[in-house]
């Protein structure tokens, strides 16, 4: 597999405050056995949203996946090893959110070097793609038709991300790390209400693809809560990748199956759905590269906040919003004042994201300018205590900041599927991983690769289908080999070069506001990490209305904010975050959702009291 390892990361330079991290686990210990995590077919681990202890931590949306990562840490593997094992297990238990048919972004803190690295494993468009990819006769293809098609499928990057991360920082072989997920797929896991509900929401399109229906609608029926769901085809696929390496997915028989499926989607002959073919080729898969590149970095209240640089907009948008709020004492505000400032900072940062952020291999993305405090200050002066900005708000100019100035026309926020997943891992040496991965919307394209047991992504629908305005350049139009802009925001926070916490979330474009609100809740509002994750959310993305979860929608704060001019719409659930935090005494705290998506799973190697 060809890769681009860009070693241009800056050293972290600030003075120490938390417990020091020891040297990282040595690489090259391939061959160590990973313990079996599922001795009983159909058994599902119990979900607990917070855990504290020693030896490392894992937080994900799924208990079986978290257990797979913990087993790796118990066997002496490091955070990178555990992250790969957890992600592979999520490909089994969360197949509508992630898997080897998709891609993602991997942020890694190396305790030995005290440096943060990132891997861009975002899907890419075929080499034949141009800005008219989603247009027919000059008219954009209907979005609902684009998402369920071969046209929306990008070259998957997840397996390549695992390969890159393990090659650079891992201590176990991919084959060993896939074994828990392979067993999980073969033995099965217990269906919960969330899995059934997600299947039900997709059943109409799943039925139009025989291989998808056969896998996810056994006997033509929705999977029953409490039943055991098995995926032997995925188990065999994991086994093949483990034996042959990830090249099997990019150049071998799996690659051939992917190309065939995209170019001739296997639709039920009786289906009435219009399913367009894509133009993915063997060369597109063979030519795929992950990118190891510099993270974004901002200093917020003496902390270094690292995120994912473009092609993701997560690092620049979270970073800009933090910079906008840097001059405000967020902790001293009452709840309404805080939410007002948070909403307005999000609105402004999204206005700038829409105009400036795209794939830097194709676009001149002013990343440094977007993250400069000078630019943030020029935008922060737009915020008023007694008034609300009007959306869509026009962007500023990061190359020539002027106080309260805007430039050109506003760029709307494109739709992004919300059913991504995020995992966070730390190990006993102090290494940390924040990893967000996806197949785009719930169920991806809806197309299962025949005989392979995994769904293909529809990530290319994250591109703009047409320019938002003929007068303004759109940096997110499709192009050959181009990565669509993403909102994924895996984030690691350091103080004096040592980890404080790491967080991330699924949720499409709401990922950015979820991560930002979680950071503010923990760092400024004094909430424990699990409570910062559980807090009711708002999400403003340079739109005319701000989304609110029910607790805010039904509470008194909405009335106070409406009096300022805010307009709202209800969103039943925003995001599903996970995180880890290093406590001053050296313990790790893992945290996940209490209720969203059925609750998440936080685990540590040795709980407090069992040291």
**Each residue of 20-56: pLDDT tens digit?**
333 344 443 333 333 333 333 344 568 999 999 999 9
Per residue in 113-160, pLDDT (tens digit) is 999 999 999 999 999 999 999 999 999 999 999 999 999 999 999 999
Per residue in 477-531, pLDDT (tens digit) is 999 999 999 999 999 999 999 999 999 999 999 999 999 999 999 999 999 999 9
Total residue length of the chain: 611
Q: Which of 219-228, 294-303, 470-479, 487-496 has the lowest mean pLDDT?
A: 470-479
Tokens encoding 126: 């075929």
Per residue in 523-568, pLDDT (tens digit) is 999 999 999 999 999 999 999 999 999 999 999 999 999 999 999 9
Query: 3-class DSSP state for residue 38?
Result: coil
Tokens encoding 32: 């160590």
Is 172 within 8 Å of 166 (Cβ atoms)? yes
297-416+484-582: which CATH topology? Serum Albumin; Chain A, Domain 1 (1.10.246)
Instruction: Find the distance separating the first CA and the last CA of the chain, reported in whole Å.
Output: 42
CA–CA dist 226, 187 (Å, integer): 14
Instruction: Kindly state the DSSP code that residue 455 receives in the 8-state scheme.
Output: B
For residues 176, 177, 180, 184, the Cα torsion angle rounded to the nearest 10 degrees is -120
pLDDT at 186: 98
Q: To 5 degrees, how large is the angle CA 465–CA 470–CA 476?
A: 40
Query: 3-class DSSP state for residue 295?
Result: coil
Is 330 within 8 Å of 324 (Cβ atoms)? no
Question: SS3 for 385-404, per residue?
Answer: CCCCCCCCCCCCCCCCCCCC
Is 202 within 8 Å of 96 (Cβ atoms)? yes
CA distances from 509 to 417, 512, 542, 591 (A): 8, 6, 11, 22
Q: Active-site positions?
A: 420
Q: What are phi and psi of 533, to 5 degrees?
A: -70, -40
Give pTM, 2 decimals: 0.92
Tokens encoding 81: 């090893």
Tokens encoding 491: 């984030």
What is the share, in percent, of the chain residues with pLDDT greater than 90? 88
CB atoms within 10 A of CB 119: 27
Residue 14 has pLDDT above 90, yes or no: no
Is 424 within 8 Å of 504 (Cβ atoms)? yes
What is the share, in percent, of the chain residues with pLDDT greater than 70? 91
Residue 293 has pLDDT above 60, yes or no: yes
Q: With residue 450 as reference, give the H or E element that holds it.
A: none
CA–CA dist 591, 578 (Å, integer): 6
pLDDT at 416: 63
What does the domain layout of the chain look like in residue ranges? 4-292+426-462, 297-416+484-582
108 class by beta-carbon count within 10 Å (0-12 exposed, 13-18 middle, 19+ buried): buried
Q: What is the mean pLDDT of residues 230-241?
A: 98
Is 421 within 8 Å of 185 (Cβ atoms)? no
């Amino acid at each position: 597999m060809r890769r681009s390892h860009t070693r241009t990361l800056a050293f972290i330079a600030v003075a120490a405050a938390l417990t020091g991290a020891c040297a990282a686990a040595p690489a090259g210990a391939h061959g160590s056995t990973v313990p079996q995590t599922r001795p009983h077919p159909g058994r599902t681990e119990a979900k607990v949203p917070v855990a504290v202890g020693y030896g490392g931590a894992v937080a994900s949306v799924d208990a079986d996946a978290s257990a797979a990562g913990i087993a790796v840490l118990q066997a002496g593997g490091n955070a990178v090893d555990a992250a790969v094992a957890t992600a592979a297990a999520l490909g089994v238990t969360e197949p509508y959110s992630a898997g080897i048919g998709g891609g993602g972004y991997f942020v890694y803190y190396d305790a030995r070097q005290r440096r943060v690295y990132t891997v861009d494993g975002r899907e890419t468009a075929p080499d034949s793609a141009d800005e008219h990819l989603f247009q027919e006769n000059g008219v954009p293809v209907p979005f609902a038709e684009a998402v369920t098609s071969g046209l929306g499928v990008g070259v998957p990057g997840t397996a390549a991300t695992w390969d890159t991360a393990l090659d650079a920082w891992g201590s176990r072989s991919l084959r060993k790390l896939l074994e828990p997920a392979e067993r999980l797929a073969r033995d099965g896991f217990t269906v919960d209400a969330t899995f059934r509900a997600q299947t039900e929401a997709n059943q109409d399109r799943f039925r139009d693809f025989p291989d998808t229906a056969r896998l996810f609608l056994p006997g033509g029926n929705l999977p029953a809560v409490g039943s055991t769901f098995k995926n032997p085809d995925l188990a065999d696929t994991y086994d093949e990748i483990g034996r042959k390496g990830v090249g099997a997915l990019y150049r071998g028989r799996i690659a051939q199956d992917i190309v065939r499926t995209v170019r001739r989607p296997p639709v039920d002959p009786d289906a009435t759905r219009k399913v367009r073919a894509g133009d993915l080729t063997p060369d597109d898969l063979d030519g795929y590269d992950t990118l190891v590149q510099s993270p974004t970095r901002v200093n917020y209240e003496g902390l270094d906040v690292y995120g994912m640089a473009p092609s993701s907009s997560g690092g620049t948008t979270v970073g800009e919003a933090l910079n906008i709020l840097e001059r405000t004492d967020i902790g001293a505000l009452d709840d309404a004042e805080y939410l007002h400032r948070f909403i307005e900072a999000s609105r402004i940062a999204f206005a700038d994201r829409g105009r400036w952020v795209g794939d830097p291999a194709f676009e001149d993305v002013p990343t440094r300018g977007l993250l400069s405090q000078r630019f943030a200050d020029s935008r922060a002066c737009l915020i008023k205590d007694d008034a609300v900005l009007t959306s869509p708000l026009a962007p500023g100019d990061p190359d020539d900041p002027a106080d309260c100035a805007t430039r050109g026309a506003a760029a709307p926020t494109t739709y992004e599927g919300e059913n991504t997943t995020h995992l966070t891992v730390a190990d006993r040496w102090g290494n940390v991983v924040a990893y967000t991965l996806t197949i785009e919307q719930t169920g991806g394209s809806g197309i299962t690769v025949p005989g392979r047991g995994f769904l293909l992504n529809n990530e290319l629908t994250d591109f703009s289908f047409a320019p938002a305005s003929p007068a303004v350049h759109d940096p997110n139009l499709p192009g050959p080999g181009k990565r669509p802009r993403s909102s994924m925001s895996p984030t690691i926070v350091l103080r004096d070069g040592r980890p404080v916490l790491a967080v991330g979330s699924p949720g499409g474009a709401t990922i950015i506001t979820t991560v930002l609100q979680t950071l503010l809740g923990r760092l400024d509002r004094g909430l424990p990490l699990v409570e910062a994750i559980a807090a009711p959310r708002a999400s403003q993305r340079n739109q005319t209305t701000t989304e609110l979860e029910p607790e805010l929608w039904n509470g008194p704060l909405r009335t106070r904010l409406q009096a300022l001019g805010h307009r709202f719409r209800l969103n039943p659930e925003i995001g599903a975050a996970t995180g880890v935090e290093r406590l001053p005494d050296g313990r790790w705290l893992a945290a996940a959702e209490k209720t969203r998506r059925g609750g998440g799973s936080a685990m540590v190697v040795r709980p407090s009291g069992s040291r």
